[in-house]
């Protein structure tokens, strides 16, 4: 069924399909030339407001990292973050490679 079946008691049931769609889209996003996370690439017609809670849940549990773009490199950096422009990475590079089907790490080109 879903990779998130084990955590179903910790997340609303309505979010499980969304979590799965986001999780499965990570490698597709990173394989593109423009690696920016685009909600409509998860599912046709998807919008941020529909998937934001699931994305936040994945980030809060430490399963993903969200790397936000910044307007300028000034201190404090978080004040210059563009919250609508970000990339999503899995918690571990080895896991990311496995998700992408990369067997030989010397040939990894996804990151």
Q: What is the pLDDT of residues 55-101, one digit of tens each?
A: 999 999 899 999 999 988 888 888 889 888 999 999 988 888 888 88
- Say which CATH number the domain at 59 has: 1.10.10
Residue 81's SS3 state is strand
Show the 3-state SS of 97-111: HHHHCCCCHHHCCCC
Within-domain flag for 71: yes
Within-domain flag for 5: no
Within-domain flag for 1: no
Within-domain flag for 2: no
pTM over 0.85: no
pLDDT tens track for 26-40: 999 998 998 999 999
Count of domains forming the chain: 1
Which residue range forms the structural domain that includes residue 54? Answer: 10-100
pLDDT band at 106 (very low <50, low <70, confident <90, very high): low
> Is the sign of the CA dihedral 96, 3, 83, 32 positive or negative?
positive
Within-domain flag for 111: no
Within-domain flag for 27: yes
């Amino acid at each position: 069924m879903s990779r998130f079946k084990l955590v179903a008691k910790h997340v609303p049931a309505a979010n499980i399909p969304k979590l799965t769609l986001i999780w499965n889209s990570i490698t597709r996003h990173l394989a593109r030339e423009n690696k920016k996370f685009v909600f409509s690439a998860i599912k046709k017609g998807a919008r941020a407001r529909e998937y934001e809670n699931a994305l936040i849940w994945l980030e809060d549990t430490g399963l993903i990292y969200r790397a936000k773009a910044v307007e300028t490199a000034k201190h404090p950096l978080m004040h210059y973050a563009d919250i609508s422009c970000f990339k999503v990475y899995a918690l571990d590079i080895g896991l990311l490679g496995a998700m992408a089907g990369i067997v030989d790490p010397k040939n990894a080109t996804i990151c």
